[in-house]
């Protein structure tokens, strides 16, 4: 199982939020470029990057910074946040981003997902973020009536190969992942690669997620507060299949 440390970018800085609340922002590194260099030096294979400004505005606000992060390190990067047009996807692909995550738009504009998958194949992933099992959109500010499993099945039918699933109630809380949701996803869409996001608080959580045969897990706050080290991440990655 891959373990992906997260860099969430807000106003040019690496930050952490709690349950997607922009008022509960903590700056974890003034320089996201320095942060990704640290990950590269440790031997991390892929980093999960979120443009939080973009998620709010529907624009790739921090694209230039993310381009620099890719160019300066050549670490594999998956990017989400504000990606709502094929032109934005083209721009990220052109700078070498390894996986491009479509979030809210997967629900509101599935045609875009079809076009993107047709053009870029496995490079396209879909981020499904849920509150009380219902898909949230627009930077988690609005909640739809669509069940997370329903959207996952629809994306599988389109040909999407990778889902990043977040239970918003767990994000940034260090209270452990919602394992039952991942079990349900693995059952509903067994052909998809599922990446867990939200609630990871310990190395044990990572090993427990690996037991569910997930493709990957994202670590955010637990790294920045010292609960999970880069060595822990690599240990899980190297010993959990």
Share of the chain above pLDDT 90, in %: 76
pLDDT at position 109 is 95
Asked whether the beta carbons of 21 and 52 are under 8 A apart, the reply is no
- Residue 122 tokens read as 């496995």
Share of the chain above pLDDT 70, in %: 95
Class of domain 2-239: alpha beta
Q: What is the mean pLDDT of the chain?
A: 92
pTM tops 0.85, yes or no = yes
Active site annotation includes 241: no
- Residue 181 tokens read as 């949701």
Strand partners, 76: 46
Active site annotation includes 90: no
pLDDT bracket for residue 57 (50, 70, 90): confident
Strand partners, 6: 48
Catalytic residue among 129, 171, 205, 232: 129
Q: Is the pLDDT of residue 139 over 60?
A: no
Q: What is the residue extent of each domain of the chain?
A: 2-239
Residue owning tokens 């629900």? 107
Q: Which residue, 100, 14, 8, 99, is CA-closest to 56?
A: 8
Asked whether the beta carbons of 213 and 186 are under 8 A apart, the reply is yes
pLDDT digits (tens, 9 = 90+) for 163-212: 999 988 887 778 899 999 999 999 999 999 999 998 999 999 999 999 99
**CA separation for the pair 113, 8 (Å, rounded):** 23
Catalytic residue among 8, 51, 167, 208: 8
């Amino acid at each position: 199982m891959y373990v992906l440390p997260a860099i969430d970018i807000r106003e040019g800085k690496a930050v952490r939020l709690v349950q997607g609340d922009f008022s509960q922002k903590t700056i974890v590194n003034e320089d996201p470029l320095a942060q990704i260099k640290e990950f590269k030096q440790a031997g991390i294979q892929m980093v999960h990057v979120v443009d939080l400004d973009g998620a709010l505005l529907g624009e790739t606000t921090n694209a230039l910074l993310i381009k620099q992060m890719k160019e300066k390190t050549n670490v594999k990067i998956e990017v989400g946040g504000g990606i709502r047009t094929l032109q934005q996807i083209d721009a990220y692909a052109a700078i070498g981003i390894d996986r491009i995550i479509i979030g809210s738009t997967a629900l509101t504009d599935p045609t875009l997902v079809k076009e993107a998958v047709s053009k870029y194949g496995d490079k396209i992933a879909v981020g499904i973020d849920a509150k009380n099992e219902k898909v949230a959109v627009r930077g988690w500010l609005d909640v739809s009536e669509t069940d997370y499993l329903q959207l996952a099945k629809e994306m599988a039918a389109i040909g999407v190969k990778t889902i990043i699933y977040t239970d918003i109630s767990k994000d940034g809380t260090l209270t452990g992942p919602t394992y039952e949701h991942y079990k349900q996803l693995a059952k509903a869409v067994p052909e998809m690669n599922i990446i867990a996001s939200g609630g990871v608080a310990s190395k044990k959580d990572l090993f427990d997620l690996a037991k569910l045969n997930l493709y990957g897990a994202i670590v955010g706050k637990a790294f920045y507060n010292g609960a999970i080290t880069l060595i822990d991440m690599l240990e899980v990655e190297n010993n959990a299949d």
